[in-house]
Amino acid sequence: MKHERNNLFYRLDLFVILSIVLPFSIYMLTLAPSVTFFDSGEFLTATASLGSAHSPGYPLFLMYAKPFTWIPLGNIAFRVNMATAFSSSLACLAVYLLTLKLLKNELLVKNERLSSFAVKACGLAAALAFSVTPRLWLQSNHDKPYPLLAFISAVIFYLLLTWRDHYEHGDERPAYVYACTFLAGLTMGLHQSVVLLLPAWIVLIVLADWRMVTRVKELVLATAFAMFGFSVNLYLPVRATQNPLLNWGDPKTAAQFMWHFLRKGYPDDPHPRGLALLWAQIKAFNVPHEFTWLGAALLLFALFCLWRRQRDIVIAYLAGVATFLLVIVGHFNAQSDMIFLTEEFFTPLYLLSAVLIGVGLFNVLAYAIRNAHLPEKYDLRVYGLIVILLFSLPVSLCAVNYYENDQHNNYIAFDYATNSLRSLPENAVMFTWGDSGAFPLWYLQGVERMREDLDLPHTPHLVFDWYLDSMPRVFKDSNLRNYDVQSAPPETSLRIAITDLIDQRPVYIDFSTRYSVSFSDYIPVQKGIVYRIRRINEPGGLPDISVWENYNNRGILNKISFLDLDTGKAILIYANSYLEAGEFLLSIGRVEQGKQMLSKAEQISPDMKASVQQVLMRYGLSR
């Protein structure tokens, strides 16, 4: 019997393969083909150049993704996106293995073959359900560090459960705990939110052997291994000495490294919070949204079932949820328009939730089969019914979420950046405002080597000396160095920089800068989706509308399925730019061209219909 059980255990190959291959196949079908918005362009540039991304630098993610850039398939962005798809698939594999770990002693019926199949099928169903949840799927289609963080955190849970099993059999193996502390320290090179899992891990250790936390030798060794893992962050100062293409924070010195690692470059202005904002922050962790209400019910049922047999798992999970909510909601206190950023931090909790859903599926299946009075000989019909029951949830989730997460034709960020670059004359300087407007430009210029004659300063960074040092061609002798710009708003730095440059080079700003800053000494002159800066006393001239003919409008005129917040904003920028150009053309008597521009604005965004009508009425025109 023992020999048969061992053979069944080693016949996991097909399920293991499916738990990673199926998610990876889905992600490759829906993978973004190039740079996207948010942090994408920055991560891509930092990965390609082995530099430093925004605080805290993300060194482990950059080193993990770098080998994928050597794959001769697609562009660099596609390859790094593929790296994230693979790490998400590893996270799905971890769901499968953890589910099996929790169900290893469970028997569905006396028939071991059917029981083994059911356990593996529940693990695979849980892995596939996790793979097509909105949060993980969104992170899997472009460059993100959170799926890799979720995978490593799951490995830590797996090692702790293995250590617990050995301890319960009288075999103390602290090496498992040392491996966990090493991985925890290593994961700090992905994102600092990993520390929010510490209470859950400590619960698993203390409930198994509380004396372990009182042993000085073991605590010292565990700390040493954690510091050894944390040493991956030394990558940042070492690489900074080589002045890579993207060297955010320039962490060469110990002081600058700590400034970078501790996120000192971000504003920390507390703001009031009412009950509505508090509730919105709490709802950022939303199991029903990720797994449906059926998944949430299965999770609660699993907690109920585990409470009797593996109480430490329940307590650890609840401790993790409580810690995440207390810190992310209580400490971070994100404003309403920024809550979507904190949602990414919950990925490890969703992984654990998927494991519990797998346990819940097994217990529901066990109850159903034990009360169905099936014959002792189980034929293919029984196996078929199990498959239908277990895989209804992941199939439904995939069907519901596929359209919204299909990015295979998402070129909006790429086209937005290339259209901006096409609008600029030789040797121009264009100031950007906002990560999504700047980062795709960084990628195209730094990695794809487009328009290297241009300089593209990012206005919010003008207050940092390290950033001015990184652009000597623009800021070597800038008056910005003579003022305390860090105590002034970024628009002050922008005005000083424009004054320094306007008589030397063509100066432009992007759409976001145009509507974020008020100019008193200069006038922005539209040129497509960017604006040339001219002095008040400089002749304005006629608008250059030929630039619109060179624009690529993929996903703008013909809508794509995927629309995140900044993709939607980019589309509105196009619509507003066409509206603004059309109104100006009408004002100088070029009626037909103006009406064409207005028509394009309405075609891009039907919500512009009222604004277009107002403009036409202002000039006594009809459609």
pLDDT per position as a tens digit, 70-90: 999 999 999 999 999 999 999
Q: Which residue has the higher pLDDT, 256 or 333?
A: 256
In sequence order, what are the beta bridge partners of 554?
558
Q: What's the pLDDT score for residue 376?
A: 61
Q: Given a cut of 90, is residue 537 above it in pLDDT?
A: no
What are phi and psi for residue 547, nearest 5 degrees? -60, -30
Instruction: Of 63-77, 235-249, 291-305, 507-521, give the lowest mean pLDDT range.
Output: 507-521
Q: What's the pLDDT score for residue 114?
A: 78
Contact 31/225 with Cβ under 8 angstroms? Answer: no
CB atoms within 10 A of CB 466: 18
Contacts of residue 520, Cβ cutoff 8 Å, sequence gap at least 6: none
Q: Which residue has the higher pLDDT, 105 or 447?
A: 447
Q: How confident is the model at residue 9 (pLDDT cuts 50, 70, 90)?
A: very low
Q: Given a cut of 80, is residue 623 above it in pLDDT?
A: no
- What mean pLDDT comes out for the span 197-204? 94
Q: Given a cut of 70, is residue 16 above it in pLDDT?
A: yes
Q: What's the pLDDT score for residue 127?
A: 97
Q: Given a cut of 90, is residue 236 above it in pLDDT?
A: yes
Query: How many angstroms separate the first and last alpha carbons of the chain?
Result: 83
Q: Which residue has the higher pLDDT, 314 or 269?
A: 314
How far is the C-alpha of 127 from the C-alpha of 88, rounded, in Å?
Answer: 11
Three-state DSSP class for 409?
A: coil
Nearest to 83 by CA among 131, 147, 155: 147
Instruction: Of 51-55, 456-460, 560-564, give the lowest mean pLDDT range.
Output: 560-564
pLDDT tens-digit map of 377-399: 666 777 777 888 889 999 999 99
Helical ranges in 169-215 per DSSP H: 175-187, 198-208
Q: What's the pLDDT score for residue 567?
A: 86
Q: What's the pLDDT score for residue 7?
A: 47
Secondary element (H or E) of residue 62: helix 59-65
Nearest to 560 by CA among 598, 530, 516, 604: 604
Q: Given a cut of 50, is residue 8 above it in pLDDT?
A: no
Tokens standing for residue 543? 């608008």
Q: How confident is the model at residue 252 (pLDDT cuts 50, 70, 90)?
A: very high
Report DSSP letters for 584-622, one per residue. HHHHTT-HHHHHHHHHHHHHH-GGGHHHHHHHHHHTT--
Q: How confident is the model at residue 375 (pLDDT cuts 50, 70, 90)?
A: low
Q: Given a cut of 70, is residue 5 above it in pLDDT?
A: no
Q: What's the pLDDT score for residue 478?
A: 87
Q: How many residues does the chain have?
A: 623
In sequence order, what are the beta bridge partners of 380?
none
Q: How confident is the model at residue 589 (pLDDT cuts 50, 70, 90)?
A: confident
Q: How confident is the model at residue 115 (pLDDT cuts 50, 70, 90)?
A: confident
Q: Given a cut of 50, is residue 3 above it in pLDDT?
A: no
Q: What's the pLDDT score for residue 345?
A: 92
Q: How confident is the model at residue 373 (pLDDT cuts 50, 70, 90)?
A: low
Tokens standing for residue 398? 């995939």
Across 73-90, b (16+ Cβ under 10 Å) vs e yields eebbbbbbbbbbbbbbbb
How far does CA 81 lie from the centroid of its chain?
11
Average pLDDT score over the chain: 89
Q: Which residue has the higher pLDDT, 559 or 273?
A: 273
Contact 1/113 with Cβ under 8 angstroms? Answer: no
How far does CA 74 lie from the centroid of its chain?
21
Q: What's the pLDDT score for residue 518?
A: 83
Contacts of residue 88, Cβ cutoff 8 Å, sequence gap at least 6: 23, 27, 131, 136, 139, 140, 147
Nearest to 66 by CA among 90, 83, 41: 83
Q: What's the pLDDT score for residue 38?
A: 86
- What mean pLDDT comes out for the span 560-588? 87
Q: What's the pLDDT score for residue 203?
A: 93
CB atoms within 10 A of CB 538: 12
Burial class (CB in 10 A: 0-12, 13-18, 19+), 346: buried
Instruction: Of 20-24, 40-44, 212-216, give the lowest mean pLDDT range.
Output: 212-216
Q: How confident is the model at residue 197 (pLDDT cuts 50, 70, 90)?
A: very high
Secondary element (H or E) of residue 251: none
